[in-house]
């Protein structure tokens, strides 16, 4: 294992900003794995740290095949992580909206440019991603429909779902999109949580990545092949939205099967304790995403259900 600083810039009032990468094997640039880009992505950092430990042991055991190089970048934004702030501390900009970056631009543009210059030439790009809304997911692989997606390859991870979603204008400045433009096969890996550690889903993500790398002839790994992935279009999921704001109490968990009409959650008046709204399942399905914040706004998508077809 080689530990390198892949990007560094000086700071005015504290130690220099550094992005660290861990390199395994040698030869062609086969796989790059990126963990947290935002400061609240604790689960993504944790999963990467466990992957680094596992790959180090595999390298010592000779299980990384010759001619393949793997790079793991646990955190692209350690400054924000140090103070538990999701975006860049000084101007609240999102590094994952700055790719491919600009080396003469604002700080976050320079960071994106410096990091992307190192990671853009890998054959496969894997990112531990997070959602913009607070909540938990069923673990899955997600791809943007940018014209470069490869569904059959995504199934090789053996995760429960492969999710496809349409590209939005702001996606053109994300890491995943720009990896694809630079002809890297890019996949976003979602575990259950973001700002808290979920050991079980982190383990699933690591096994999925090693399974994928094994099928692509990059590592020697004999493990569980995982699931036969179900391919789902994001637009085909049934969203459950609130009509009112208040205290949010979920009655179901991610991965749970629900029936049409079943109560999924209660929204309660925060002062008087009266139930303002019962949120019910519109279809028979499986809970794919569930809001997990104790408060909710009105008109918020608090559940997404994969429609169950009999």
Task: Kindly report, residue by residue over 205-238, the tens digit of the pLDDT.
Answer: 999 999 999 999 999 998 877 899 999 999 999 9
pLDDT in tens, 111-124: 999 999 999 999 99
> What's the CATH fold of domain 237-307?
OB fold (Dihydrolipoamide Acetyltransferase, E2P) (2.40.50)
Bridge partners of residue 32, in order along the sequence: 71, 125
Split at pLDDT 50, 70, 90, the class of 293 is: very high
pLDDT in tens, 157-180: 999 999 999 998 889 999 999 999
* Per-residue pLDDT at 309: 74
- The Cα–Cα gap between 219 and 210 comes to 7
Residue 290 has pLDDT above 90, yes or no: yes
Q: Phi and psi for 46 in degrees, rounded to 5? A: -60, -45
Residue 6 has pLDDT above 80, yes or no: yes
* Residue in 41, 42, 44 with CA at minimum distance from that of residue 33: 44
Residue 310 has pLDDT above 70, yes or no: no
The rounded mean pLDDT for the chain is: 95
Written out in words, the top-level CATH class of the domain with range 2-232 is: alpha beta
Residue 186 has pLDDT above 90, yes or no: yes
Residue 308 has pLDDT above 90, yes or no: no
- Of the chain, the end-to-end C-alpha distance in Å amounts to 49
Residue 198 has pLDDT above 90, yes or no: yes
Q: Is residue 287 within 8 Å of residue 255, measured between CB atoms? A: yes
Average pLDDT of span 77-103: 94
* Per-residue pLDDT at 192: 95
Percent of the chain clearing pLDDT 90 (strictly above): 89
pLDDT in tens, 231-250: 999 999 999 999 999 999 99
- The Cα–Cα gap between 29 and 200 comes to 29
* Per-residue pLDDT at 239: 97
CA 289 → CA 202, 232, 296, 302, distances in Å? 17, 13, 15, 8
Q: Which of 74-78, 148-152, 299-303 is least confident? A: 148-152
The arrangement of strands across the sheet holding 68-75 comes to 2-9, 17-25, 68-75, 28-36, 124-128, 185-190, 140-145, 161-166, 230-233
* 60-80 core/surface letters (b: 16 or more CB in 10 A; e: else): eeebbbeebbbbbbbbbbebb
- The Cα–Cα gap between 276 and 258 comes to 22
Residue 295 has pLDDT above 90, yes or no: yes
* Per-residue pLDDT at 284: 97
- The Cα–Cα gap between 51 and 206 comes to 6
Q: Look at residue 97 and give its three-state secondary structure.
A: helix
CA 254 → CA 136, 159, 250, 297, distances in Å? 7, 15, 10, 20
Q: Is residue 81 within 8 Å of residue 36, measured between CB atoms? A: yes
- The Cα–Cα gap between 65 and 215 comes to 12
* Per-residue pLDDT at 148: 86
pLDDT in tens, 27-63: 999 999 999 999 999 999 999 999 999 999 999 999 9
- The Cα–Cα gap between 174 and 97 comes to 5
Q: Look at residue 276 and give its three-state secondary structure.
A: strand
């Amino acid at each position: 294992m080689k530990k390198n600083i892949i990007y560094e810039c000086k700071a005015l009032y504290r130690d220099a900003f550094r992005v660290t990468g861990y390199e395994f094997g040698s030869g062609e640039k086969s796989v790059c794995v990126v963990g947290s880009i935002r400061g609240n992505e604790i689960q993504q950092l944790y999963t990467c740290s466990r992957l680094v430990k596992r790959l180090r042991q595999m390298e010592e055991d000779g299980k990384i095949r010759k001619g393949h190089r793997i790079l793991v970048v646990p955190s692209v934004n350690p400054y924000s992580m140090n103070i538990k702030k999701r975006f860049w501390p000084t101007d609240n900009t999102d590094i994952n909206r700055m790719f491919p970056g600009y080396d003469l631009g604002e700080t976050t543009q320079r960071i994106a440019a410096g990091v992307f210059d190192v990671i853009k030439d890998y054959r496969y790009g894997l990112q531990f991603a997070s959602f913009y809304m607070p909540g938990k997911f069923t673990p899955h692989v997600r791809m943007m429909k940018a014209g470069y997606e490869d569904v059959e390859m995504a199934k090789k991870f053996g995760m429960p779902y492969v999710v496809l979603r349409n590209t939005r204008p702001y996606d053109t400045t994300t890491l995943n999109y720009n990896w694809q433009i630079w002809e890297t096969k890019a996949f976003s890996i979602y575990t259950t949580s973001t700002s808290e550690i979920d050991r079980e889903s982190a383990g699933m993500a690591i096994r999925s990545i090693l399974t994928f790398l094994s099928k692509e002839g990059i590592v020697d790994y004999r493990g569980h092949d995982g699931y036969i992935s179900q391919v789902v279009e994001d637009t085909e999921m049934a969203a459950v939205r609130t009509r009112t704001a208040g205290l949010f109490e979920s009655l179901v968990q991610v991965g749970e099967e629900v029936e049409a009409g079943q109560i999924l959650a209660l929204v309660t008046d925060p002062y008087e304790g009266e139930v303002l709204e019962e949120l019910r399942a519109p279809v028979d399905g499986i809970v794919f995403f569930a809001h997990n914040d104790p408060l909710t706004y009105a008109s918020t998508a608090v559940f997404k259900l994969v429609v169950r077809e009999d």
